[in-house]
Structure 1
Amino acid sequence: MGSLRVEPFPAGPGASLLPAALLLAAALLVGEAAAQSSAARTIYCCDVGGQPVCGDILPAACYGRAYRELSPSGIVRRTVPAPLTADEVTRRAELERQRRADEAERQRQQRLDQALLETYRSLDDLDRRRDRELRDVDRTLHELRAREAALLEHQRVLIQDATQTDKSDVAASLERDIRTLDSEIIAQRGVIEAKAKERAAVFERFAEDRRRYLELTAE
């Protein structure tokens, strides 16, 4: 039985080049991996007393401070602000509350504007409705004031009768009627005052609607 013989790697001009090429490739791969690892590394820096304090991990002196994340070459990758103080948290919450309130008001005004444009076909239509409502209020005011005038006239007659009678029982009865009329006149004047305020409110409402309608249609 024959023995197995291992032939040596053939010698030749290119035989010594192969191991060298493999070594070079390996060296290049190691160098590239090292470069990538270095490029991926992050340095953390903050300023303490005007001096930078840096480390591969965030230094303890940087806790609660603004800090920078840098590449090994010194390029700032990211800046992290310092944590907010209690006053700053309160201020931010207040600003957010105000922002939400402003947005709610903007949406409310938008709905009102849309309703206004849908309510009136034109400026003349708005003016006609205003005049109609004011006429209705004025008619009621006229009736209330006529009623007040009638009460005052009735009271004047009773006072005149009370001054001209000699009978005490008649005078006492007239006095009671006069006091009753006093109460009615006061109540009537209260109703007139309320109706006058209603008229002013109607006028003011239509004036504001007219102003806003002009703004919207001009836009």
Structure 2
Amino acid sequence: MLPVHKPTLIAALSLLAGAAAHAQPAAAPSSIYSCTDSRGRNITADRPIADCIDREQRELNSSGTTRRKIEPTYTAREQAERDERARQAQMLASRQTEERRRERALLVRYPSAIAHDRERAEALVQIDAVIKAARQRLGELSDERKKIDDELEFYKGDVSKAPGSVRRKLEDNAQSVAVQNRFIGEQEDEKRRVNARFDEERSRLRQLWAIDAGGAPR
């Protein structure tokens, strides 16, 4: 057997090690980034993609499944606009939720037209009772005024010649009449508001009753 020189053996082993290293495949990247840019191109890379900084990117596992989504990077103005859109959308959703809650409460309170008509009538009866009492008070004040006028006849209708007590009764009577007339006017306005509210409710209830009954709203 021929002797092998030690330097030659070392060189041969180094060559074999280098060949084995070249023969091994390169390690695949642990993550892959994917997106569609502004021109519609599908791009993949082994790092976040600069051309897609303004849009969502996906970080994929080596198996191709999504590991996470990377949100776009916005300017301060874009972020403010985005936040405002989100706020408006949240407000709209809240209003819609509140509207549905009010509609459910309305149906529970007024399951039928009869129930709605009955409550309208009761509300108007209460206002009419208050107006009636005020009108009765006006009648009493009118009687009082006649007595005062009778006293003024002694002074030939000249209020300036009447004693202070008579003048005060006349002033008090006039003020009380003004108060009662103003009060009656306010109650008449309240009747109009009540009727307007019930009319508005009735319009919405017709739709809700139809939907609740399984029909189309009219």
Q: TM-score by structure 1 length?
A: 0.61
* Aligned mate of 1:201, from 193, 197, 201: 193
Say whether residues 1:151 and 2:106 are aligned partners: no
* Aligned mate of 1:182, from 174, 184, 205: 174
Cα distance in 2 for residues equivalent to 1:83 and 1:56: 19
Cα distance in 1 for residues equivalent to 2:146 and 2:87: 63
* Aligned mate of 2:114, from 121, 124, 148: 124
Instruction: Give the counterpart letter for 1:110 in structure 2.
Output: R
Tell me which residue corresponds to 1:138: 128
Give the C-alpha shift of residue 182 in structure 1.
2.2
Tell me which residue corresponds to 2:93: 103
How many residues align? The count is 177
Instruction: Give the counterpart letter for 1:189 in structure 2.
Output: N
Cα distance in 1 for residues equivalent to 2:205 and 2:112: 9
Q: Any conservation in 2 of the 1:158–1:178 contact (CA below 8 Å)?
A: yes
Cα distance in 2 for residues equivalent to 1:206 and 1:40: 64
Give the C-alpha shift of residue 39 in structure 1.
11
Cα distance in 2 for residues equivalent to 1:38 and 1:65: 21
Cα distance in 2 for residues equivalent to 1:186 and 1:121: 43
Say whether residues 1:115 and 2:71 are aligned partners: no
Cα distance in 2 for residues equivalent to 1:65 and 1:160: 96
Cα distance in 2 for residues equivalent to 1:107 and 1:42: 39
Which runs of no fewer than 5 residues in structure 1 stay unpaired? 1-25, 48-54, 70-76
Whichever of the two has the greater Rg, that structure is: 1
Say whether residues 1:211 and 2:203 are aligned partners: yes
Give the C-alpha shift of residue 130 in structure 1.
1.1
Q: Secondary structure at the match of 1:121?
A: coil
CA 56–99 in structure 1, closer or farther in 2 if over 3 Å, else same: closer
Q: TM-score by structure 2 length?
A: 0.61
Tell me which residue corresponds to 1:22: none
Higher mean alpha-carbon deviation, 177-186 vs 81-90, is at 81-90
Cα distance in 1 for residues equivalent to 2:103 and 2:34: 56
Cα distance in 1 for residues equivalent to 2:153 and 2:177: 21
Which runs of no fewer than 5 residues in structure 2 stay unpaired? 1-19, 39-44, 59-65, 212-218
Tell me which residue corresponds to 1:37: 28
Cα distance in 2 for residues equivalent to 1:137 and 1:111: 29
Give the C-alpha shift of residue 200 in structure 1.
2.0
Cα distance in 2 for residues equivalent to 1:179 and 1:93: 64
